[in-house]
Every structure is written in C-alpha cells, then in structure tokens.
Amino acid sequence: MRKTPLYDHHAALGAKFTNFGGWSMPVQYTNIIEEHLATRNIVGLFDICHMGQIEVKGHQGFSFLQQIMSRNLEGQKPGQIKLCVMTNEEGGILDDLTVYKLEDELYMLVTNASTRQKDFEWLINKSRELGFDQLQIKDIGDETGKLDIQGPKAQKVLQRLLADDLTSLRFYRAIRTTIQNMPVILSRSGYTGEDGFEIYSPANKTGELWDLILKTGADEGIKPVGLGARDTLRLEAGMMLYGHEMDETITPFEVVYDWLVDLKKDFIGCAALRRQKEDGIPRKLVGFEMIDRGIARADYKIWKDGRDAGIVTSGTFSPSLHKAIGMAFVPLEYSQEQTEMDIEIRGGKFKAKITSLPFYKRKK
C-alpha cells in the first residue's frame, strides 16, 4: 500500500489508518465526531497527498481540454478553477476533477486518488488520438503534496503564514505564492462545505508545512482531521465521492451535474449525452434521511411498494444534524422530495424519505 509523505506524522499523532484507493491514510486521530465538529466550528487540517495532479502545458491546452471535459472552459481566466467531469464515449464519468488554469498555456488537473493513473493514461492516449502533438502532459502527483485547511478559522490561521491578503482571494480562485520561501499553489476551495483552502507544495516540504500549520493554528484549536470526518463533512455538504456516487456507468445527468455539461460544444461522450438528454434519465441521485431508527450504509437496497427501487451510494450518521443521512440512486419516478421509501438494513425494512441536497449549508 502507498504512503503519503506525512505517514510518520500521522503515526506520531496516534492515527488509525485505512486503505483508501490503495493508500494507507489516516481515518481518524481522536474520533470522527470531534474532528468533524472541529472543522465545522473552528478549523481542521487534512492530508490530501493521495490525490493526483496532472500538468497540461502548451498552446493546445485549452482546445484539448475542451474536447476532454464536458464543461465549457471558455472564459476561464488564469487563476480560476473549474469543477469538471471527464466522460467516456458512452457519457459515463471517468472522473470528477478540478481544472486549475494557472497560466494561458498551463493547466493543473486535480484528480481523485483511485483514478489518477487511469486519468493520466486517458489524457495521454486521447492527446495522441486527437492529434494534439504539441502538448506536454505530465503526472506531477508524486512530487506534489496537498494539504486542505478547512473551517471558519482557516483564513485567520493561514493568513499568519502569508504576505498576500487572503480576503481578496475569491472562492474557486488560486494564486501562486510562498510560505516561508516554499513555493505553493493555494486556492480557496475544498470538500467540506466550509470556507477553506487547498495548498499544493513540493512533496518533500509538505511535512514541514503540516507541522507549521498545526503549530500556527494551535492557539485557535486547529485539529488534524482524518478521512472519516472528511467523508461525513462532504456528505452533509451534498458533495459526491467518485466510486460511490459516480463511476464509468453513471452519467453526469444522473447525478444532477447538468451544470457541468455543455451539449452545444463537442467533447468525448457528447453524442451519448445528447441522446440521454432526449430520452431522459432512468435513475437519479437523491439525498435521503432516515425516518425509522437505523443507519443506511453504501450498497444497502431500497424498496418502494415492495419493489426494488435503487441503492444507497453513501450513508452515515450526521454529526452536525444528529440524524442518519445518505445519498442514493432511485428510479426517476420516485425521486421527488418527501417521497418515502424503505431501506433494507440487516434484512429488515426501515423507512426513509427523500430530502433536498445539501443537508448542511454554512452560515455566511
């Protein structure tokens, strides 16, 4: 199993580890609820070094990515980030990723951990097939470390380490700067539903940065946060996880990612998605909460009027809302909010109802 550059730091903090996409990652340091609430109420620091980064360099970058991503990237300015999905010929989601435009001819793609190799190979192969021979596509994941600092005090803590004024950095914008002479890319973005930042640094310096941020935020009560709380935080915020809500057989329309698809332009998978737009989607991703006492988990079956009616993709106990919540695929006809359904838990049927997403929205 692969380890991030911070493995020893986690072990020293007493972390419990789990296998996530082939990586040995900290699932929790103390407990998930504490780490979750620290992020919601104060600030948390996350090791995200397992995620991938791919550099796309050259004057053909924009035209290439326009054919790869379903979203229209026209108008993206340097310093702007766009959430995108990459689809196959059938319109299935290969990955959801963020596209950083760093310069006119330099992009950084941030991929999921489990898909980074597949994404890289896809990009290389497609650039050849489509004749983009002037492009440099480079996997910079191993040399790049990534830390997320998230929570209402994230800006206050990070500002202490920066000359730049963070208040002027808008949501989904990135800057290149330095932290104690260390070159970093820093964006206001994240995966928790809180204000916060993602910081990319040289992998061999990420351990130093980790210690520095924890020390700098100690008086505010910063906590290291594991993947356990990362999962409950993203689920409350209605954010999807590749491998759960998305895979290569699921289209962007089925997960309500319509806003990431521009059918007016041509891209890989556009024909299939145009057809689906005409025909309609068979199933839809929804949020639900349990009515009966019980916690639904990923892969549990859903029943409606005694008939098979879908499957849970993610489910947990929500530490902020004190109830069992989740996301699921249901047939389109059952996807209305407030629709009641049964979820099978250990052979018994438990009532749940469809709710709007997100479950949690921070106060601005």
Partner 1 sequence: MYQPNPEDRKYSKDHEWAVDNKDGTVTMGISDYAQEQLTDIVFVELPDIGRQVAQFEQLAVVESVKSVSDIYAPVSGTVIDVNKALEDQPELVNQDAFGEGWIVKLQMVDPSELDTLMDAAAYDDYLERDGD
- Shortest gap between Cβ of 357 and partner 1 (angstroms)? 20
Rounded Cα–Cα distance for residues 196 and 38 (Å):
13
Measuring CA to CA, how many Å separate 241 from each of 197, 234, 341? 19, 8, 23
- Which DSSP helix (H) or strand (E) runs through 156? helix 154-159
Among the listed residues 295, 301, 353, 355, the single contact to partner 1 using CB under 8 A:
295
Q: Does 312 bind partner 1 (CB under 8 A)?
A: no
Which of 293, 307, 363, 364 is the binder for partner 1 (CB under 8 A)? 293
Longest Cα separation, the chain: 63
286: part of which helix (H) or strand (E)?
Answer: strand 283-290
Give yes or no for residue 5 binding partner 1 (CB under 8 A).
no
Stretch that binds partner 1, among 138-146, 152-160, 224-232, 352-360 (CB under 8 A): 224-232
**Does the protein bind partner 1 through residue 232 (CB under 8 A)?**
yes
Residue with tokens 């993206």: 76
Instruction: List, edge to edge, every strand of the sheet that includes 144-150.
Output: 174-179, 182-188, 196-202, 144-150, 44-47, 223-224
- CB nearer partner 1, residue 61 or residue 287: 287
For the CB of residue 331, give the shortest distance to partner 1 in the complex, in Å.
Answer: 27
Minimum distance between the CB of residue 316 and partner 1, rounded to whole angstroms?
6
- Tell the residue number behind the tokens 């296998």, with chain if given: 19
Rule CB under 8 A: which of 85-144 touch partner 1? none
Does 324 bind partner 1 (CB under 8 A)? Our answer is yes
Tell the smallest beta-carbon distance from residue 246 to partner 1 (Å): 21
d(CA 168, CA 151): 18
Cis status, amide bond into 183, omega within 30 of 0:
no
Alpha-carbon distance of 144 to 184, in angstroms, equals: 10
Which of the stretches 131-139, 169-177, 187-195, 290-298 binds partner 1 when contact is defined by CB under 8 A? 290-298
Interface residues for partner 1 in 18-37 (CB under 8 A)?
27-28, 30-34, 36
- Candidate list 346, 347, 363, 364; residue touching partner 1; CB under 8 A: 346
Which CB, 126 or 297, lies closer to partner 1?
A: 297
Tell me whether residue 310 or residue 319 sits nearer to partner 1 (CB atom): 319
Judged by CB under 8 A, the number of residues near partner 1 is 20
Residue 294: CB minimum distance to partner 1, A: 7
Of 234 and 283, the one with the shorter C-beta distance to partner 1 is: 234
CA torsion angle 116 361 172 65 (round to 10): 50
276 forms part of the interface with partner 1 (CB under 8 A): no
Contact stretch for partner 1 (CB under 8 A) within 106-114, 133-141, 210-218, 316-324: 316-324
Query: How far is 28 from 147, CA to CA, in rounded Å?
Result: 16
| DSSP conformation letters of 207-223 | HHHHHHHHHHTGGGT-E
CB 213 within 8 A of CB 46: no
Pairing of β 44-47 and β 144-150: antiparallel
Q: How far is the CB of 47 from partner 1 (least distance, A)?
A: 17
CA atoms within 13 A on the CB side of 46: 29
Among residues 152, 198, 161, the alpha carbon closest in space to that of 39 is found at: 152
Residues forming the site for partner 1 (CB under 8 A): 27-28, 30-34, 36, 228, 231-232, 293-295, 297, 316-317, 319, 324, 346
